[in-house]
């Protein structure tokens, strides 16, 4: 499958654009926006047509702090990730996993809990280069700062620059200038709980503030300081969005929506496409042991160009787990197109139920295992085709996994999860292996009741 739920790389030398995701269409360059906001956000992409709105600061002469971007912020030194702990155990674990995923890519980065920050002690008491994960509903620091921050983000609301962006999957990534009780910081937060799953996947870094929705980048802008000294964002016009015509299907008692562009006439195979979406999602939920799947919306595009124009991603399919959304190009139902749905659906189901994966190896492995195939070829067939069987530990670093041909890396990942499920059960994969990073792999295997060597031997024997 060609999942483009995006690039699992650190772009530039500092920006944290990272995803556990599929993608022959994925690039490894900077995803930072330009002043004019053109491009696609993939490869060396420069945004998705949302650009940075410019303006003049009033009153304070702090243009440098107002122009701070995530790129520039992270160039100052190793970050300290401040993870939220206001959510339930699952939310807290998901936030910690997302931060650990990025920490492994940035030498010297550290992680602290939101409870370690003493706001009364002022900015000087904060750790160096703080990067906050989670909105006010899951991060105590964001909640305590309240209106001192120029964005408002809760489980069901996002307001930036006086504009309401509330909705499923709404998220903000912003470099925020210093205030009376906080130093300059970067914030990653979204609606929903925990609101951070795969948030680093959104191409970003070159604008002080970026807002995204279920389709991707929606707008970006710059900070301005008013006569009262308060910050607000001046935002560019929102990216193009279109009307959709929806039909519904039932998946394990949950209604799911399948959307077709409203400007296109109904096609003879629309019902078959909708049925295939339901089949793929139902198969994925059953395989993953998720008895009550969430309501997922699948957007079906007539071709890759249409998909790229609205999402910045021209792959056959990609998932936006934080929004409970799939974006797929219409395919041939008779040739196993529902396996693409199962693969992408697995990313959403697992992202919402289990949280972020600790590596692309396990993230893609679970999706390939769930669908039972890669590029419509059964995983058992791939087992007879693959020659090299490198140790899993060598594929856990994102660059190592992405550095191999997709037609080799994805089936290998699927085989690893296959043997892992056989050895420790799906619960062992879910609870221990799925969130493991290269640094924690051996420990995770021990907790699950196996060893790296046992897993590698089983993969090598699968022919």
pLDDT in tens, 353-365: 999 999 999 999 9
- Helix-strand-coil split of the chain, %, nearest 5: 35, 20, 45
Q: Which residues pair with 152 in a beta bridge?
A: 159
pLDDT at 115 over 80: yes
Question: DSSP label at 87?
Answer: S
Pick from 131, 104, 257: which is nearest to 187 by CA? 131
* In the chain, % of residues over pLDDT 70: 87
* Pairing verdict, β 171-176 and 185-190: antiparallel
Cβ-in-10-Å burial (0-12, 13-18, 19+) of 156 comes to: middle
397-441 residue pLDDT tens: 988 999 999 999 999 999 999 999 999 999 999 999 999 999 999
Q: What is the pLDDT of residue 198?
A: 87
Give 202-258 pLDDT, tens digit per residue: 889 999 999 999 999 999 999 999 888 899 999 999 999 999 999 999 999 999 999
Question: Is 222 in contact with 234 (CB distance < 8 Å)?
Answer: yes
Q: How far apart are the first and last CA of the chain?
A: 21
Q: In the structure, what pLDDT confidence band is assigned to residue 298 with cuts at 50, 70 and 90?
A: very high
Contact 439, 105 (CB under 8 A): no
Which pLDDT value is given to residue 32? 32
Average pLDDT, the chain: 88
Q: Where are the alpha helices (DSSP H) in 312-449?
A: 337-353, 360-371, 379-385, 392-395, 398-402, 406-428, 441-448
Q: Which tens digit of pLDDT belongs to each residue from 151-169?
A: 999 999 999 999 999 998 9
pLDDT greater than 90 at residue 58: no
Q: Which residues of 212-221 are buried (b: 16+ CB within 10 A; e: fewer)?
A: bbbbbbbbbb
Question: Which residue in 372, 369, 376, 329 sits closest to 350, CA to CA?
Answer: 369
Residue 225: exposure state from Cβ atoms within 10 A (0-12, 13-18, ≥19):
buried
Q: If pLDDT is split at 50, 70 and 90, which confidence band does 56 have?
A: very low
* CA angle centred on 26, ends 24 and 27, rounded to 5°: 125
Q: Look at residue 54 in the predicted model and tell me its pLDDT.
A: 39
Supply the pLDDT for residue 380: 95
What stretch of H or E contains 224? strand 216-225
Answer yes or no: are the C-beta atoms of 301 and 327 closer than 8 Å. yes
pLDDT for 16: 55
Question: For residues 4 and 406, what is the distance between their CA atoms, to the nearest angstrom?
Answer: 12
What is the C-alpha separation between 280 and 366, in angstroms, rounded? 15
Q: For position 127, what pLDDT does the model report?
A: 97
**pLDDT value, residue 305:** 97
């Amino acid at each position: 499958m060609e999942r483009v739920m995006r690039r699992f790389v650190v772009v530039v030398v500092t920006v944290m654009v990272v995803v556990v995701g599929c993608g022959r269409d994925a690039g490894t360059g900077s995803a930072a926006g330009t002043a004019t906001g053109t491009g696609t956000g993939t490869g060396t992409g420069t945004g998705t047509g949302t650009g940075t709105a410019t303006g003049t600061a009033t009153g304070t002469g702090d243009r440098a702090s107002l122009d701070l971007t995530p790129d520039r912020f992270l160039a100052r030194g190793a970050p300290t990730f401040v993870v939220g702990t206001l959510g339930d155990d699952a939310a807290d674990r998901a936030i910690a996993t997302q931060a650990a995923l990025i920490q492994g890519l940035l030498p010297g980065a550290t992680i602290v809990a939101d409870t370690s920050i003493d706001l009364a002690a002022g900015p000087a008491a904060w750790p160096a280069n703080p990067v906050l994960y989670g909105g006010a509903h899951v991060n105590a620091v964001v909640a305590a700062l309240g209106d001192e921050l120029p964005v408002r983000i809760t489980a069901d609301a996002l307001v930036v620059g006086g504009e309401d962006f509330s909705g499923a999957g709404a998220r903000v990534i912003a470099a925020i200038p210093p205030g009376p009780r906080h130093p300059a910081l970067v914030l990653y937060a979204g609606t929903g709980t925990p609101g951070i799953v795969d948030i680093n996947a959104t191409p970003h870094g070159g604008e002080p503030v970026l807002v995204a929705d279920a389709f991707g980048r929606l707008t970006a802008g710059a900070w301005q300081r008013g006569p009262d000294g308060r910050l607000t964002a001046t935002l560019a016009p929102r990216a193009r969005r279109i009307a959709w015509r929806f039909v519904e299907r039932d998946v394990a008692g949950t209604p799911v929506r399948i959307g077709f562009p409203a400007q296109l006439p109904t096609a003879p195979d629309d019902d078959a496409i909708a049925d295939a979406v339901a089949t793929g999602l139902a198969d994925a939920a059953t395989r993953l042991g998720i008895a009550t799947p969430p309501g997922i919306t699948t957007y079906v595009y007539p071709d890759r160009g249409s998909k790229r124009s609205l999402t910045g991603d021209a792959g056959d399919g990609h998932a936006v787990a934080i929004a409970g959304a799939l974006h797929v190009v219409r395919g041939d139902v008779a040739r196993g197109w529902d396996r693409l749905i199962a693969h992408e659906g697995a990313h959403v189901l697992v992202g919402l139920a289990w949280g972020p994966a600790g590596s692309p190896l396990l993230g893609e492995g679970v999706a390939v295992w769930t669908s039972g195939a890669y590029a419509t070829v059964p995983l058992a067939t791939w087992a007879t085709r693959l020659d090299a069987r490198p140790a899993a530990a060598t594929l856990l670093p994102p660059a190592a996994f992405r550095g191999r041909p997709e037609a080799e890396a994805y089936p290998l990942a699927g085989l690893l999860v296959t043997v892992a499920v056989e050895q420790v059960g799906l619960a062992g994969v879910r609870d221990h292996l799925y969130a493991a990073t290269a640094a924690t792999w051996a420990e995770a295997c021990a907790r699950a009741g196996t060893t790296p060597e046992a897993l590698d031997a089983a993969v090598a024997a699968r022919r």
